[in-house]
Structure 1
Amino acid sequence: MSSISGPPSPSDRYRAAANRTAEAKTYLGSFARTLDFELDDFQREACRSLQEGRGVLVAAPTGAGKTIVGEFAIYLALQRGLKAFYTTPIKALSNQKFTELSAKYGAPNVGLLTGDTTINGDAPVVVMTTEVLRNMLYADSETLGDLGFVVMDEVHYLADRFRGAVWEEVIIHLPSEVQVASLSATVSNAEEFGAWLDTVRGDTDVIVSEHRPVPLWQHVMVGREIVDLFAGDTTFDEIAPALPDTEVPDLGESEETPPSESRAVSGKSAKRAVEATVRHAVTGPEFEVNPDLLAMARSESRMNVNARYSHGGRSRRRQDRQREDRQTAQRSPVRRASRPQVIDSLNRQGLLPAITFIFSRAGCDAAVAQCAASGLWLTTEREQQIIAQRVDEASHEIPADDLDVLGFWGWRDGLIRGFAAHHAGMLPTFKEVVEKLFADGLVKAVFATETLALGVNMPARCVVLEKLEKFNGEAHVNITAGEYTQLTGRAGRRGIDVEGHAVVLWQPGTDPAAVAGLASRRTYPLNSSFRPTYNMSINLIAQFGRARAREILESSFAQFQADRSVVGLARQVRGREESLAGYAKAMECHLGDFSEYSKLRRELSDAEQHAARDHQRARRSRVSDSLTRLIPGDVISVSGGRLAGYAVVLEVDPNAREPRPSVLTADNQLRRLGVHDIDAPVSAVTRIRIPKSFNAKVPKSRRDLAASMRNAVNGDSSRQRRNSRHEDFGLGSRAQDQERKIAEIRRALRAHPCHGCSDREDHARWSERWWKLRKETDGLVRQIQGRTNTIAKTFDRVCDVLSTYGYLDTHDDGRVTISADGQRLRRIYGEKDLLISQSIRQGAINDLDAAELASLASTLVYQAKREDRGLRPRMPSVSLETAVDIVIREWSRLEDTEEQNRLPLTAEPELGLMWPMYKWAKGRHLQEVLSGTDLAAGDFVRWAKQVVDLLDQLAKIPQLDPRLARICRESIDLVRRGVVAYSTVA
């Protein structure tokens, strides 16, 4: 491995000059003359490796210029009359590279393939998403002919647990004569990854550069003042190479935990290890945290404690300390700076353009609105004219009716002022405009989610992090050192800025040492997320046979890492077993077996939780059904919640995904009534007529109708009893069984000898610690047992499932071949590949028209942000109802089969996009499509493109009935219209 760090010695400079003289006559020399800057040493070394016929892994910081190596691979291919593929993990980055390379090599020489977009696919240089290349390899596409080089940009993305496995599939399956240039962010195990590449691809050089061409300064913004994070006048980049690569000790992972999410073991030893690691990184001899920030944090902490515990009289010592604290805190802000104030401060100090990372789409949009409301302007009159012209040109094809629902005018106003949001919920066309305007220096401030850090080329002079925690879909968690490096790596534009700046906003409770720990951890490990899927397995068997396919999977990076990790796992198990022995001693009870008693307590807790979940799910379903049956004029009695009392139904929306009738309450208030507003099903206690002249906006009309409702209720009081609560909510015998089981466990618990122990709860705390650590330790033991050939064993289980469903045929001589149904599965790519194939096989799409097919396809690609299951919407048609029944039935059967074979479960089909997609395919207006949903326009477009991608896969299956293939193409045409067709960026 070559590591480039520090200034070169005189002998190094002499050798470099001699090499350049020799290289002037080579392809590298001619390529270097096309550039308007001098190649860095790591770029030159990587290019030299490619020129000499070897593959390369280039790991360097964001903005260091890794893509130059990829461009040289393309240059070599063109000079030698070969093809070159440039792959990226996301479509947006593919589109951006396509634009750049088209400008450099000419539009006829560059193509684009992103699943839903095909431009000049037979060109000598083709930009594509990695999934497209994987699909081409499995299909043995003719496009692969004369392929000489493949550039794999952002290859560290293979750690992504959803899409990362595609990288390894491509690396394994590419023909051996193809040279691979892998471009990665700086990772701490580059040597390990490079060793695997060398094993599966042949000669591969690993070139690592720790040097940032633009130095990065680290700051904390306290109020409106920007304070250096580190003491001294040297950037962290200049001293980082001298620091040890401190890694938090590997504390182990459970079988269910992704590799990137390590769990800390119980006990003080782990805590001390982590603290020591951070302390070593932060307080080493090379640098120290700014003492002013540390004093500020101590002062804030003391003031909080004093405010919490002071009750009148104070000691003289406490008063002296508080006086000292007030003096120290004079530099502290009275309140945090607002977002407009932060941008204004950056502007005054010449730190724009800036990207502010806000881990919330709503927060990004709110930031733009706040800056606009504050009267902030960052652009000149000339810039405003250019921006307005560009925006209007980009949006001229969008119908005027769509502009309002897309939030166009607010977006346009923000751009003209010089700021914008950037997140996945935006219309792709809007994101593309923001990226271009920012790149051209016209937009000065962008508020973005972390998706911007995935590779889209939007460097800035300054990067701001509002917080150091984000919501990961389940909980709020601190960002990792790798994420911090990826985000702040955007700061500093090569060739424009002398230096870059990373700014963390001060929050209550900010720990400067912790921030310094994040900033000092410059690298992070790359862990494989590879596992055999149904589609992957059946394609491998079709090409190589089962035995050879098994061998190929054993060569994956996942297996490579697994084999190396067994020794470390065994060491962790030994340490945990010692802790378990101590916990067992601490929970001993003189009255009996406390582990047995503890088991009963856990069984009781689990049973109560299951019963509560069933009860809540049934309640919501019954409440939803009761709301669905209401009609205007029904008078209902709401038995609980904030709307308790009588109300009359004014309006219902039969097409809403979740019923929310509009009602008038007895106190003349207009409200929307949803399942969360009431605690029991409702029904009409009586009915009244709503006058045709009724106008909900007129107070007198509301009062008159409310009076009519009260009179009707008083005159029909006997009916009020009909709305009594139903505590079982339809659970019936199941609820009774659950209650019986809970009662039995409680009796056993009370009868146990340990129940009467005076130290019972103390023993219980130690028991809970023992069981938690036991579970984690058992997970490690299972990992050790399964590490040998773990990928191949998973492949065997996948094959067992495929055989169960009849996709594989085993012959008398032991040969395994692909059945006709299996051939269909070979062309279906996605997380629900087998479920999609089974649904087609069972006739789910046979009786659907084109609009219904688009609606059904949405259930097989859509992923809701949060849990929103248990409520099944009314289907648009009987045919679609039948189709959904088939899909749900096949999913349930598949889930049972996967559980039996110890495989990851296929995600449940999501029905939340069915109505919007059906309306869209029926030609409805975008505003009507999005009405009543939480979908942003950009989200809808993104999911619509995935629906198109799935339909396109189905239409191209050779074994599909021609009539169904025609309906798939018709469905694509219905979905690919309007905003879905405006932009190629997804």
Structure 2
Amino acid sequence: MPSARHFSIASIATDALTYLEGFQESLPWPLDPFQREAIEKLDTHQGVLVCAPTSSGKTVVADYCNFRALREGVQVIYTTPLKALSNQKYRDFVRQYGADLVGLVTGENSINDRAPIVVMTTEILRNLIYEDLSRLDGVRYVVLDEVHYIDDFPRGSVWEEVIIQAPSQIKFVGLSATVGNYRELATWMAENRGPIATVYHAERPTELRLWLSMRNVFRPLFDSHGKVHQDTWQRALREDEAMSQAHGFRRLPANDMLKVVEQLSEQQMLPAIYFIFSRRGCREALQRCAYHGLDLTSDDEKARIERLAQQRLESLVDADEAALFRRMVDSNMLLRGLAAHHAGLLPYHKELVEELFQAGLIKVVFATETLALGINMPAKAVVVSSFSKFDGVGFANLTTGELTQLMGRAGRRGIDIRGHGVILKEQDVDIGTIYEVAMGPGPVIRSKFLPTYNMALNLLRIYTPEQADELMLRSFGQFQLRTAAGELQERLENVRLRLEDLSATWDCERCRPKDVSDYLRNEDRLRSIRLETRRLRREAVPVPTRRRGQGGFRGRPHGLAGRQLHRLEEERQALQERQRKSRITGCPRFGEHLAGFGEQRELERELKQGERTKVEQNDQYQRKLRRLYRVLGEAGFIEGDKPTEKGLLTARVYGENSLVLVEALWQGYFEGLGPEELCALTVMLAAEDRGRDRGPRQPRRYPTPAVGQVSRLLRSLYNRFAELEQDVDEPNLRPPSYDYIDFAYHWALGDPMDSIPLPQNVDIGDAIKAMKSLYSTLRQLDHALRESRHPLQATVRAAVVRMERDVISRT
């Protein structure tokens, strides 16, 4: 007779098979083998990590979670790293399951949050874990879409907090692009969640062909066997050589955008995404198309575009947003099948471009790389206009991971037999570099885990300091450090053995290895003394002294510099005497010993550095957490290892500058302000200046004297916190933003959106993003103050209401 355990496992397996068969019957197409494998592993494990290329169908595993949740009466939470992705996924699920069964929770929205299927950003799920853990009692599945974002700063920490602290009954489904160390990520997840299965599927749903465009001609990058195409390689080398000899024409473009689009059309590679890594470049490309009268659509397509655009316009609730939409959308270019897409556009404008592109009506969209981050806009071809982009510091070549992410859009599943990726050859990028990146290994996920003030306060609110330290040890960052420490330890053991071998094989009877080591160490010190002596003589003040028998004077350093020079001279003489008496000095193999001792010195340096690294990595995150505690303690946010009343309030306001915001509130800076003034000041701590292409900064003007006065107090408060951080070498706070003070003030006053002046070099999309950040911060503050019944709560609530416009609150 089988045991109860065997019976239980058999029952679970039978139930899972029944669900899988029912799910397959609900689909109009058969499951791919990797999809079926992932579902089977999910049913028998505590979760599954699925790595597969873009558009390969890995979200079917999430659909299976929805299928089971609707039949079992449990809840599934689908998380994404970006609000735009959450909004898009919510719309997809509403079309698939109906509005009653789907909810949405973001920083600006909360719709039907008790539905069996709820879409939210990963930050919201993290906040629920800290603030309302019981809310997750009915959750059975959590889908982490784009889980490779764990490599992103600062979002990556949120994934780690969620995976470590989520209730144990939750099964995690990680959906990731193909990465090289997916097993390492799954092993770490398993340490925290129990057995996590992996499914790796490298095959794209459509074949991808890569092309190199030289002088507007597309040439294959690889041959039919996947090897370097020799003709393309040789042509590129000749092209580089010819260009290097044409000195005056070196900067001329090797490809022309209009000719490239013409090639795409002739070779039936449309619709296409044309990546240009700057908003200005996207705008200029569209202007060139307009100037040259480029038209890619038929009369029937023009009619459909006009009809869809008009329907979109009629659905806008706010008249001022509709007016702004009319002014900013180039309807003539849309009708011709051409558009731009970047973060600076009006949200409704981006949504219209996405809808038209998905319908096959936009033939070429000029886009920044933000389009590659999850938005569902597959194309037949992708063009990469530049092989380098600005990384926040300077311009760097694309990595293999970035190129793979961009090319992932090429090829529409079920529509195209193959997709095409076109790289435009630039004169200052070697063909070898392009091949190196195109053939490079898959990207490797590196933890960007970083404790924050908010994390520290929430941990101390729930756990003891010892338990908080233990959670730091469970992070993916510490896991990777631990793995690296094991590899480092093995390397150091080899170094020690090699040093022992060098000592054991010493064959000189006149001197020992230590004699050589001491001699070289003394020589290093003598070089340092010579440099220090020259510096002191330059800086020293000479004292005139009459020399016997001469009428002139000679300078002699005096004071502190003189004493230091005297000490160095004594040390120099002692070292030189020691060197003279050294055994190695008289050794006939002196030169041979010095030449051969380089390896030993390098090994000793490596051993010393390795031991130091081991110590530093052992408790890196715990030490960082303690530095945060010190700042929080000195500022009055914690006392006796627990958050104070001020600290508890701060724990419920998520953001880089929540300390400054809550301290300002605590000090009474906001008392007596109107809601619109509170908005103008809070945006300084909620938003972030664009920073690039600023030009000379304009004089700061404030909408009211009170706003100007309090803004200076906020800056002073930030500086005080920054000094505390400097004392412990722990910079975390972001400087206050000044871009959106006036914009937020007039927004809160209710001024029409199309009449509020934009800050210098800021696009409307940036301004609306800042208003969304402000609205989200105010909502969090309103919620936190409501619980503490703070007198400022009424003003905060009024500010929240003032911020609510359709462009903020709609999906």
Please indicate the TM-score interval, normalised by the length of the shorter structure.
Answer: 0.7 to 0.9
- 1:839 paired with 2:758, answer no
State how far apart, in whole Å, the 2-side matches of 1:486 and 1:371 are.
27
Compared with structure 1, are the counterparts of its residues 291 and 924 closer, same or farther at alpha carbon in structure 2 (3 Å cutoff)? same
**1:148 Cα deviation from its structure 2 partner:** 0.4
State how far apart, in whole Å, the 2-side matches of 1:176 and 1:491 are.
39
Q: Which structure shows the higher helix fraction?
A: 2
Secondary structure in 1 aligned to 2:295? Answer: coil
- 1:133 paired with 2:125, answer yes
State how far apart, in whole Å, the 1-side matches of 2:751 and 2:404 are.
44
State how far apart, in whole Å, the 1-side matches of 2:610 and 2:410 are.
40
The question of whether the paired residues in 1 share the 8 Å contact of 2:136 and 2:167 is answered with: no
Is 124-133 or 63-72 further displaced after alignment? 63-72
State how far apart, in whole Å, the 1-side matches of 2:469 and 2:807 are.
45
Gaps of 5+ in 2: 1-12, 500-516, 540-559, 570-603
- 1:291 paired with 2:227, answer no
Secondary structure in 2 aligned to 1:855? Answer: helix
The one-letter amino acid paired with 2:259 is: Q
**1:338 Cα deviation from its structure 2 partner:** 2.7
- 1:942 paired with 2:769, answer yes
Gaps of 5+ in 1: 1-20, 237-286, 311-331, 604-743, 754-773, 811-815
Compared with structure 1, are the counterparts of its residues 365 and 334 closer, same or farther at alpha carbon in structure 2 (3 Å cutoff)? closer
State how far apart, in whole Å, the 1-side matches of 2:669 and 2:293 are.
56
Counterpart of 1:41 in structure 2 is: 33
The one-letter amino acid paired with 1:167 is: W
Is 457-466 or 869-878 further displaced after alignment? 869-878
Secondary structure in 1 aligned to 2:792? Answer: helix
**1:871 Cα deviation from its structure 2 partner:** 7.2
The question of whether the paired residues in 1 share the 8 Å contact of 2:45 and 2:196 is answered with: no
TM normalised by structure 2 equals: 0.81
- 1:426 paired with 2:345, answer yes
The one-letter amino acid paired with 1:148 is: R
- 1:81 paired with 2:20, answer no
Counterpart of 1:912 in structure 2 is: 739
The one-letter amino acid paired with 1:480 is: T
- 1:378 paired with 2:378, answer no
The question of whether the paired residues in 2 share the 8 Å contact of 1:462 and 1:502 is answered with: yes
**1:561 Cα deviation from its structure 2 partner:** 0.5
Residue identity (%): 35
State how far apart, in whole Å, the 2-side matches of 1:976 and 1:27 are.
43
State how far apart, in whole Å, the 2-side matches of 1:475 and 1:141 are.
43
Compared with structure 1, are the counterparts of its residues 855 and 599 closer, same or farther at alpha carbon in structure 2 (3 Å cutoff)? farther
State how far apart, in whole Å, the 2-side matches of 1:880 and 1:804 are.
28
**1:405 Cα deviation from its structure 2 partner:** 5.4
Counterpart of 1:971 in structure 2 is: 799
Cα offsets for 1:518-550 (capped at 9, x unmatched): 122251110111121111121122222222122
State how far apart, in whole Å, the 2-side matches of 1:776 and 1:138 are.
43
The one-letter amino acid paired with 2:730 is: L
Counterpart of 1:471 in structure 2 is: 390
The question of whether the paired residues in 2 share the 8 Å contact of 1:59 and 1:209 is answered with: yes
The question of whether the paired residues in 2 share the 8 Å contact of 1:406 and 1:937 is answered with: no
Query: What aligned pairs does 1:224-239 form with structure 2 within 5 A after superposition?
Result: 224-230=216-222, 232-234=223-225, 236=226
TM normalised by structure 1 equals: 0.68
State how far apart, in whole Å, the 2-side matches of 1:969 and 1:334 are.
57
State how far apart, in whole Å, the 2-side matches of 1:977 and 1:599 are.
66
Counterpart of 2:4 in structure 1 is: none
Counterpart of 1:626 in structure 2 is: none
- 1:807 paired with 2:637, answer yes
Cα offsets for 1:93-126 (capped at 9, x unmatched): 1111111111111210000111101211111100
The question of whether the paired residues in 2 share the 8 Å contact of 1:43 and 1:66 is answered with: yes
Compared with structure 1, are the counterparts of its residues 151 and 591 closer, same or farther at alpha carbon in structure 2 (3 Å cutoff)? closer
- Residue among 380, 388, 392 paired with 1:461: 380
Structural RMSD (CA): 3.4
Counterpart of 1:859 in structure 2 is: 684
Counterpart of 2:554 in structure 1 is: none
The question of whether the paired residues in 2 share the 8 Å contact of 1:297 and 1:509 is answered with: no
Compared with structure 1, are the counterparts of its residues 333 and 886 closer, same or farther at alpha carbon in structure 2 (3 Å cutoff)? closer
Counterpart of 1:792 in structure 2 is: 622
State how far apart, in whole Å, the 1-side matches of 2:788 and 2:339 are.
46
The question of whether the paired residues in 1 share the 8 Å contact of 2:47 and 2:197 is answered with: yes
Compared with structure 1, are the counterparts of its residues 480 and 544 closer, same or farther at alpha carbon in structure 2 (3 Å cutoff)? same
Compared with structure 1, are the counterparts of its residues 307 and 876 closer, same or farther at alpha carbon in structure 2 (3 Å cutoff)? closer
Cα offsets for 1:552-606 (capped at 9, x unmatched): 221010110111113556759999xx9xx9xx99x989997465489899x9xxx
- 1:212 paired with 2:131, answer no
Secondary structure in 2 aligned to 1:873? Answer: coil
**1:138 Cα deviation from its structure 2 partner:** 0.6
- 1:883 paired with 2:710, answer yes
State how far apart, in whole Å, the 2-side matches of 1:599 and 1:553 are.
47
- Residue among 180, 183, 186 paired with 1:194: 186
The one-letter amino acid paired with 1:807 is: F
- Residue among 472, 477, 491 paired with 2:410: 491
Counterpart of 2:548 in structure 1 is: none
Query: What aligned pairs does 1:609-620 form with structure 2 within 5 A after superposition?
Result: none
The count of residues paired between Structure 1 and Structure 2 equals 712
Is 22-31 or 191-200 further displaced after alignment? 22-31
Counterpart of 2:371 in structure 1 is: 452
**1:398 Cα deviation from its structure 2 partner:** 6.7
State how far apart, in whole Å, the 2-side matches of 1:216 and 1:528 are.
30
Cα offsets for 1:388-416 (capped at 9, x unmatched): 12112212337676667557465222211
Cα offsets for 1:297-329 (capped at 9, x unmatched): 32233334444599xxxxxxxxxxxxxxxxxxx
Counterpart of 1:358 in structure 2 is: 276
Query: What aligned pairs does 1:584-983 form with structure 2 within 5 A after superposition?
Result: 593=529, 596=532, 783-810=613-640, 816-866=641-691, 873-931=700-758, 933-957=760-784, 958=786, 960-977=788-805, 979-980=807-808, 983=810
**1:361 Cα deviation from its structure 2 partner:** 0.9
Cα offsets for 1:885-941 (capped at 9, x unmatched): 332222111111112223233111121211222222223343542356211111111
Compared with structure 1, are the counterparts of its residues 75 and 852 closer, same or farther at alpha carbon in structure 2 (3 Å cutoff)? same
State how far apart, in whole Å, the 1-side matches of 2:801 and 2:605 are.
52
The one-letter amino acid paired with 1:851 is: E
Secondary structure in 2 aligned to 1:127? Answer: strand
Compared with structure 1, are the counterparts of its residues 572 and 964 closer, same or farther at alpha carbon in structure 2 (3 Å cutoff)? farther
- 1:166 paired with 2:158, answer yes
- Residue among 442, 451, 456 paired with 2:361: 442
State how far apart, in whole Å, the 2-side matches of 1:202 and 1:96 are.
31
Secondary structure in 2 aligned to 1:972? Answer: helix
State how far apart, in whole Å, the 2-side matches of 1:221 and 1:62 are.
24
Secondary structure in 1 aligned to 2:77? Answer: strand
State how far apart, in whole Å, the 2-side matches of 1:305 and 1:809 are.
67
Cα offsets for 1:452-482 (capped at 9, x unmatched): 1111111111111000111122211111111
The one-letter amino acid paired with 1:133 is: L
Is 153-162 or 35-44 further displaced after alignment? 35-44
Counterpart of 2:574 in structure 1 is: none
Compared with structure 1, are the counterparts of its residues 574 and 876 closer, same or farther at alpha carbon in structure 2 (3 Å cutoff)? farther
Query: What aligned pairs does 1:249-648 form with structure 2 within 5 A after superposition?
Result: 287=227, 289-308=228-247, 336-396=254-314, 397=316, 408=327, 410-566=329-485, 593=529, 596=532
The question of whether the paired residues in 2 share the 8 Å contact of 1:492 and 1:499 is answered with: yes
State how far apart, in whole Å, the 1-side matches of 2:726 and 2:259 are.
54
